[in-house]
Amino acid sequence: MTTDDADVPVLAVSGLVKRFGGVVAIDDVDFAVAAGAFHALVGSNGAGKTTVFNLLTGALRPTAGSIRLRGRDVAGSPPHRLVRRGVGRTFQINNLFPDATVRENIRVPIIARHRQQWRLFGRARGLHDGEIAALAETVGLAAHLETPAQHLAYGDQRRLELAVALAAEPTVLLLDEPTCGMAAADRLPLVRFIRDLVRARGMTAVIIEHDMDVVFSLADRITVMHRGRVLAEGQPADIRADPAVRAAYLGTGFHA
Amino acid sequence: MSLTSAALPLRTYRAAGPALAVALSLAAVGGLALAGEQGLALAVPTLIFVLFAASLNLLVGTGGMVSMGHAALFATGGYVAALLAKHGFDMASAALAGIAAAALMATAMAAICVGREPTAFIMLTLALAQLVYIVIWKWREVTGGDDGLIGFAPPEWLRGTGAYCALTVLAVAGALAALLRLTRSPFGAALRAVRDNAGRAAFAGLNVKAIQIAAFAISGAMAGLAGVLLAFFQRGMFVESAGFATSTNALLVCVLGGTRSFAGPIIGALVFRAVATLAPSVTSYWLSMLGVIVVLVGLYRPEGLAGLLLRPAARR
Ligand SMILES: Nc1ncnc2c1ncn2[C@@H]1O[C@H](COP(=O)(O)OP(=O)(O)OP(=O)(O)O)[C@@H](O)[C@H]1O
Ligand SMILES: [Mg+2]
């Protein structure tokens, strides 16, 4: 059964393997995320970070290994079922309902959360408008509720990406490079904002982030991946000092 | 699915659309009624075609699923009702059984076709409909094959063209009202989300396949009702009802009228019927010409005739 004991990790992955044909994208990965943590997943391009998220959210089926959500093995569950179990995600590349307005985008996961997709009559318009407005306010999109997602500025699309994920009320939020494509100076404030939001809502989060200054200053714990494997895991200070991490990152923008 | 993916903000005329569609339908039926018995005999199949097109557009427009096999659902409804009526069941029971059978056939079709590449989806719906066509054609003992299935009639009080037309108006109006409510319901919102981005819809917590199958079942029930109405009007079902042209004509009027509005397929169906009735006396190439027009509309005015009629100011 599910428990909220601090000693049962919210998310525990062990022996995770994913092969694409002959390519081993994820090679025997283990890691655990403690309840309430703001856990960073880092690694160079192609390390397998997004693939781990795809496995955690049911977008891909693992070749081998287990994924435990509060102790329950969920490997192979389809995405919509994992969403019901509290797993939410944002995408590295904006993944929205482009024709729909900000309001309609945020409404979709709220409808799903209440299982109202099976209501054949009654109106969608006006449904959950209060909650939608509050979420839009939280991420700073209150002025754009009636704007189609595709007409938003890029940065606002990133915010909508976050709002749509939050609207499902996840307990575990997987953030795939929320700062992707943003100016360096905007990254730290955005990730701090997300971390504070995650804490205020009692969520657990895993964030993929390339900017190591941001990671070192905000993450509680860091998992470093390299070529499909876990290279190191620990507190920011340990990771900063880890010789294997330093070696793997040499010349790839890692500066401690 | 390039037929439906052209993104245009259609909100502005969404409210006006259904009103215009109703007005046009009433004008068509009223005008034909003035022409007497013969006019009414044209009005009935026109209304049935309107419902059939609107049922297809739940899949094509709202659901983004371009089915080329909708005739199978129409024919299933008509043939099952016709068979039961022929074997002594009353019209209401036969009609309900026809509608249920069409919904079931739609569910089976969806279970096989949904969740595939657009091209595979189109080919599979087409293939399944051809299979239904062949079964009807070859299974003479039951379906009458190419002689058709005859030997039944509606009850006494519905045998006049006026009375049958009145029933058809009520049934089609009721079904269209239900479809309109459905597209505006939370289910409709979920179906549009699945259409626009099935991947994200799943991560928003929606069971994509279940929603698509449900849309098929509802659309099938509506297409089945259209088939039932035609069966009792003709007092017979004929194999062409399951044919390729039945599916493609409906798809054609959805695109002609505009798949992204509720009114579109209704307007498209009315225009199609008007042209099909009037044009053959002028040119025998009318269907090919209509086909060319539809392709042009689809390419250059994805919002269809509904868009042209309802939003002239927004044309660029
Ligand atoms: N669906 C797929 N089919 C085949 N190979 C894949 C697939 N998805 C990922 N890969 C491969 O798996 C490896 C890991 O990719 P992944 O996207 O997980 O990296 P990443 O760590 O997220 O990189 P980035 O920082 O660039 O986003 C890459 O070599 C990629 O080509
Ligand atoms: Mg990635």
Name the residue of chain A whose CA is nearest to B6's CA. Answer: A99
Put simply, the chain B residues between 144 and 183 with a CB less than 8 A from any chain A CB are: 181-182
CB contact under 8 A, B197 and A118: no
- Cβ-Cβ contacts under 8 Å between A and B: the total is 102
pLDDT value of position B13:
47
Give the model confidence (pLDDT) of A186-221 as tens digits.
999 999 999 999 999 999 999 999 999 999 999 999
Q: Which atom of ligand 1 is nearest to the CA of A18?
A: 12
Reported as type and span, the H/E element at residue A42 is strand A38-43
Name the residue of chain B whose CA is nearest to A165's CA. Answer: B204
* B94 and chain A in contact, CB less than 8 A: no
Give the model confidence (pLDDT) of B166-216 as tens digits.
999 999 999 999 999 999 999 999 999 999 999 999 999 999 999 999 999
Domain ranges of chain B: 3-315
Q: Which domains does chain A have, with CATH numbers?
A: 1-77+171-256 (3.40.50.300), 87-169 (3.40.50.300)
From the list B186, B196, B200, the residue facing A119 with the nearest CB is B186
Query: What backbone torsions phi and psi does residue A16 show, to the nearest 5 degrees?
Result: -70, 130
CA A49/CA A51 separation, integer angstroms:
5
Measured between beta carbons, the chain B residues lying within 8 angstroms of A145 are none
Among residues B59, B122, B136, B99, the alpha carbon closest in space to that of B223 is found at: B99
Q: What is the pTM of this model?
A: 0.91
Residues of chain A with pLDDT under 70: 1-6, 250-256
**Minimum CA distance residue for ligand 1 atom 28:** A46
Residues with CB under 6 A from ligand 1: A 20, 23, 25, 43, 45-51, 92
Put simply, the chain A residues between 178 and 217 with a CB less than 8 A from any chain B CB are: none
* B26 and chain A in contact, CB less than 8 A: no
**Minimum CA distance residue for ligand 1 atom 10:** A25
pLDDT value of position B14:
54
Q: Which CATH number fits domain B3-315: 1.10.12, 3.40.50, 1.10.3470, 1.10.10?
A: 1.10.3470
Put simply, the chain B residues between 239 and 278 with a CB less than 8 A from any chain A CB are: none
What would the DSSP string read from start to end of chain A?
A: -----TTS-SEEEEEEEEEETTEEEEEEEEEEE-TT-EEEEEESTTSSHHHHHHHHTTSS--SEEEEEETTEE-TT--HHHHHHTTEEEE-SS----TTSBHHHHHHHHHHHHTTGGG--SS-STTTTHHHHHHHHHHHT-GGGTTSBGGGS-HHHHHHHHHHHHHHT--SEEEEE-TTTTS-HHHHHHHHHHHHHHHHHTT-EEEEE-S-HHHHHHH-SEEEEEETTEEEEEE-HHHHHH-HHHHHHHTTTT---
Residues of chain B with pLDDT under 50: 1-13, 312-316
pLDDT value of position B295:
76
Is the reported ipTM for this assembly greater than 0.85? yes
Q: Tell me the CA–centroid distance for residue A54 and ligand 2, in Å.
A: 10
